[in-house]
A and B are shown apart, each in its own frame.
Chain A
Amino acid sequence: MSARTARDRSWLRRPLVSTASVAGGVVLWWIVASIVRDPVVLPSPIDVFGALVKYMSGPYPSQGVTLWQHAAASLTRIAVGFGLGSIIGIAIGSLMAGSKAIRHIIDPFIELSRPLPPLAFIPILIVWFGIGEVPKVLLILIGVVPVMIIATVTGLDNVEPELIHASRSLGGSERYTMMHVRVRAALPSIVTGMRLAVGMSWTSIVAAEMIAAQSGLGYVILQAGNYLDTSLIFAAILVIGVLGLLMDGILRLVLRFLDPAGAARRV
């Protein structure tokens, strides 16, 4: 019980402390900006907010597209790449958890690819697929798939054998137990993997858009850099941050729904 009250209290406190810390960061930024006094080097929070409001409705000069439309372009790529990557990763991970042979065949490739930065693949993807949407989505896949495979395999491996025994002993067939107990019990771990993969998708997509793109937040950042429009760079970074937080927040809600006991407290 004491653990629970401590948790309840931390729930009360957390938003307060976090809000204060964000406000403190903004104030610090403001102070440094007013010392620097050069909006090209470091725009103040107000400059950035101004750029955000301006380009939200008004189009960015060079392409006639608003900031939100660029954000939508990036989001679409991420939705496709992240969604597809999650499905592929979960499928391969389930096969690996189900069969030793498949695991031994695929495992070396996962281990090999893990330390590789997805960005290293950009040149080769451009050579193979040009500068359309395909290489950008593929780049996200390269980042997302291994993360999802690992999350799925560990999730399925770590399901307590007692749960599987209990299901079998209660009359569940092997297939029923696989679907309704093993996969179900692994879902929180899989969703946690998706949280990591979302962050990875944003890293990859922004980098891809900086190299070969006519749209997207990465493209905006690069263009704004070329025109020394530092406020817009910060505004675009802010949009990426907020979108990333939003996606993570959705996944956290899903996680709480899937795992009413909380991942740390298993029964």
Chain B
Amino acid sequence: MTESTIGAGNPGASDGSVITRPARIAVQNVTKSYGSRRNPTLVLDTVNLEIAQGEFLCLLGPSGCGKSTLLNIIGGFLTPDSGSVTIDGRKVERPGPDRCMIFQQPALFGWLTALDNVMFGPRAQHKVDADTRDRAMSMLDTVGLAGTANKYPHQLSGGMRQRLSIARALINEPQVLLMDEPFGALDAITRGQMQEFLLNLWAEHHMTVVFVTHDVEEATLLADRVAVMAANPGRIVHLDSVDVPRPRSYDLIDSPEYSRVRMQIRRTIENGGHS
């Protein structure tokens, strides 16, 4: 395993893509504190990170290491105390449909049907035209929910809800997908299915993905690169490429390559970031 360089991702190969063009994310000297002015807690300490176009990057670390905070800053939900985040050179200042956020809770609108949930983005942006409905239907089809267009979220299973929230994000053709432990609330079997689903989706569309997790197995299965974070103060202590060829699948999780990568990352975490 090697320290990765910028651009180690997987750009190109975007035929038949619903995503316009994947974006490059640059996190520069981002610092963030919480708490009172007199007694602040440093959550992120000068974090620097470059994420290539179409790269799948996992932020991995224990709770309290600031990985969700970093993701929220990239998403525009939080402003850093200092430093900046740019996407394709444009500074992130507020949330936007170009970088869609997927949360651990699917955060679906319970009063809307599956189809209307997917249509929310175009409606909110006043961009509904003749084929929006067809596009929404094909998004539902993409995530395997074609038959549930008129069901309400509470009538769907946990995995279906999370797929619906992904369909709701995809209709905006986001250049960046920000995922905050999206499968953390699912049972082990469903989680495995959702990981494969995400791998296939990404293989087809190659959007830039930043995926927060505390699960080493999940990180190595999905990511091109893993950014290992540590707490007190939150910072990136290690960047690793996952040199396992694609296409990957859940069946390979016990292969020697994976085991080696996982061991390496675990050792990194245990040593507090010194490999």
Chain A: residues with CB nearer than 8 A to chain B? 160, 162-163, 165-173, 176-177, 180-181, 184-185, 258-262, 265-267
Specify which of A168, A185, A258, A262 lies most central, judged by the most chain B CB atoms within 10 Å of its CB: A168
The answer, among B75, B108, B121, for a CB contact under 8 Å with A171, is B121
Instruction: Tell me the total A-B contact number using a CB cutoff of 8 A.
Output: 81
CB atoms of B111 and A259 under 8 A apart: yes
Contacts known (A160-B107, A163-B109, A258-B111); A173 close to B124, Cβ less than 8 A: yes
- Interface bracket on B: 20 to 34
Query: How distant is A42 from chain B, measured CB to nearest CB, in Å?
Result: 49
Instruction: List residues of chain B with CB within 8 A of the CB of A171.
Output: 96-97, 121, 124-125, 172
CB pairs A–B below 8 angstroms (21 shown): A160-B105, A163-B107, A166-B103, A166-B107, A166-B108, A166-B165, A168-B77, A168-B94, A169-B75, A169-B96, A169-B97, A169-B100, A170-B120, A170-B169, A171-B172, A172-B124, A180-B124, A261-B154, A267-B108, A267-B153, A267-B161
Within 8 A of A (CB), among B121-154: 121, 124-125, 152-154
Instruction: List residues of chain A with CB within 8 A of the CB of B153.
Output: 261, 267
CB atoms of B124 and A165 under 8 A apart: no
Contacts known (A169-B75, A170-B97); A267 close to B124, Cβ less than 8 A: no
A181 to B168, CA, bound (A): 15
State whether the Cβ of B159 lies closer than 8 Å to any Cβ in chain A: no
The answer, among A162, A177, A184, for a CB contact under 8 Å with B107, is A162
- Extra A-B contacts (4), CB below 8 Å, given A163-B109, A166-B109, A169-B100: A165-B107, A171-B121, A185-B111, A260-B154
State whether the Cβ of B110 lies closer than 8 Å to any Cβ in chain A: yes
Within 8 A of A (CB), among B85-119: 94-97, 99-101, 103, 105-111
Specify which of A167, A176, A260 lies most central, judged by the most chain B CB atoms within 10 Å of its CB: A260
Contacts known (A168-B95, A169-B75, A169-B101); A265 close to B154, Cβ less than 8 A: yes
A259 to B94, CA, bound (A): 30
A261 to B105, CA, bound (A): 16
Instruction: List residues of chain B with CB within 8 A of the CB of A170.
Output: 97, 100, 120-121, 124, 168-169, 172
Instruction: List residues of chain B with CB within 8 A of the CB of A167.
Output: 120, 124
The answer, among B75, B94, B103, B154, for a CB contact under 8 Å with A162, is B103
CB atoms of A266 and B124 under 8 A apart: no
Specify which of A165, A170, A185 lies most central, judged by the most chain B CB atoms within 10 Å of its CB: A170
A222 to B50, CA, bound (A): 80
A165 to B172, CA, bound (A): 15
CB atoms of A260 and B121 under 8 A apart: no
The answer, among B94, B106, B107, B152, for a CB contact under 8 Å with A260, is B152
9 closest Cβ pairs, A-B complex:
A171-B97, A172-B124, A261-B154, A162-B107, A267-B153, A166-B107, A170-B121, A168-B95, A171-B125
CB atoms of A260 and B110 under 8 A apart: yes
Query: How distant is A143 from chain B, measured CB to nearest CB, in Å?
Result: 29
